[in-house]
Amino acid sequence: MRSLKLICFFAALCGWLAWDAPAQTYIEFEFDGQKIEARPVKFQDAYIEIAPRGGGQIQKVPWGHLSQATLRRLENIRPYNEFARHFLDPPPQSPPTASNRVQITIKPVERMTRYQSGSLFSSPVTWLVFLLFYAANIYAGYEIAMFRQRNKVSGAGLSAALPVIGPIVLLCMPTYEAPVAEDETAAEGAEGAETAATTSETEEAAAQTEQAAPAAAGPQETVYLRGQTTFNRRFFETKMAGFLKVVPGEAEKDMVLVVASSRGTYVGTRFTRVSPNELTLHVVKGNASEDIIIPFGEITEVKIRHKDAKG
């Protein structure tokens, strides 16, 4: 009895192994334009290995390269059927018959009513825009009449009667000029003649005074004082530009610079350098000369005088 049970157990085990083992049958593989009779050996997710009949090298064929007929053959062989099924094309579907078609019912929709002619003027927004435009037209006529020296009320009335055209007409008109009376013109001419005669006499007297002054007073001198003048670089470069040259001009060759500061008073012929905070004065003493640096903050007076004048 015990031996019978063992025989039955081994028979069932062999049957199960035979059922689960891959079949070693040869089938026709079609891929890449060639046909080979081979048996499947092993498979992976990306390819299947086949052994040709009669021996030969085992080939790895990607699943996507197999033909549909080969995939259908592998679909009947376990365990290749699970992979082969994913690469099979779906069967063609027959077109739906008239009885299977879904009937589409078109429901009526509410149509918007079209506006009739003249409906634009029935809108309150349109009337508001027209009123604003009309008011702006009248105001434009009023301003243009004021600009052209015309009657402002007439300009506004013309623009109200002729919108757009009225302001254009006012703008094209010349500016109105009030007539001047002959008596006023004659009086203005007499006053102008008297003023011209007085001005001529004053200028002649001033010229005579200026001609007599140099003869009496001798060479003139120019004085700049602190408090009345701001001593900075811009002042010396604009007021005394002639004294910044190495060779003085005709107006500066007989003049000297007298700079009074908290350190003392210096007499020089020119400025050798002017910086943002100080100046350098070229001082000549006999046959010797030197450059003296004087800060702007220490200068109290700058004088331009003739070299022969005393002061």
Instruction: Examine the domain organization and report whether 135 and 67 are in the same domain.
Output: no
- Count of structural domains, the chain: 3
Alpha carbon 192 to chain centroid, angstroms: 59
In a domain, residue 216? The reply is no
Give the CATH number for residue 62: 2.30.30
In degrees and rounded to multiples of 5, residue 221 shows phi and psi of: -130, 150
pLDDT at 191: 57
Whether residue 58 contacts residue 41, with contact meaning beta carbons closer than 8 Å, is answered with: yes
253: tokens are 């060759």
In a domain, residue 206? The reply is no
Instruction: Examine the domain organization and report whether 166 and 228 are in the same domain.
Output: no
In a domain, residue 11? The reply is yes
pLDDT at 24: 62
220: tokens are 């003139």
Q: Using pLDDT thresholds of 50, 70 and 90, give the confidence band for residue 190.
A: low
The model's pTM is 0.32
In a domain, residue 255? The reply is yes
Kindly report, residue by residue over 191-211, the tens digit of the pLDDT: 555 555 555 555 554 455 444
pLDDT at 13: 62
**Sequential DSSP letters for 241-271:** GGGGSSS--TTTTTEEEEEEESS-EEEESEE
Whether residue 282 contacts residue 270, with contact meaning beta carbons closer than 8 Å, is answered with: yes
pLDDT at 295: 93
pLDDT higher than threshold 80 for residue 233: yes
Kindly report, residue by residue over 21-51, the tens digit of the pLDDT: 444 678 888 888 888 888 888 888 888 888 8
**Sequential DSSP letters for 171-199:** HHSPPP-PPPPHHHHHHHHHHHHHHHHHH
Whether residue 287 contacts residue 294, with contact meaning beta carbons closer than 8 Å, is answered with: no
In a domain, residue 55? The reply is yes
Kindly report, residue by residue over 60-78, the tens digit of the pLDDT: 889 888 888 888 888 888 8
Q: Using pLDDT thresholds of 50, 70 and 90, give the confidence band for residue 144.
A: very high
Say which residue the tokens 């757009």 belong to.
164
| Complete edge-to-edge strand list for the sheet that includes strand 222-225 | 222-225, 299-306, 255-261, 265-268
pLDDT higher than threshold 50 for residue 212: no
In a domain, residue 235? The reply is yes
For 236, counting Cβ atoms within 10 Å of its Cβ (0-12 exposed, 13-18 middle, 19+ buried), the class is buried
In a domain, residue 42? The reply is yes
Across residues 215-243, what is the average pLDDT?
81
Chain mean pLDDT for the chain: 79
* Structural domain span for residue 229: 222-306
pLDDT higher than threshold 70 for residue 148: yes
Last residue of a domain, one of 137, 152, 172: 172
Instruction: Examine the domain organization and report whether 18 and 71 are in the same domain.
Output: yes
Alpha helices in the chain (DSSP H): 2-20, 68-75, 81-86, 124-147, 152-161, 165-172, 182-217, 233-239
For 27, counting Cβ atoms within 10 Å of its Cβ (0-12 exposed, 13-18 middle, 19+ buried), the class is middle
Instruction: Examine the domain organization and report whether 227 and 166 are in the same domain.
Output: no
Instruction: Examine the domain organization and report whether 82 and 140 are in the same domain.
Output: no
In a domain, residue 297? The reply is yes
Last residue of a domain, one of 66, 86, 106: 86
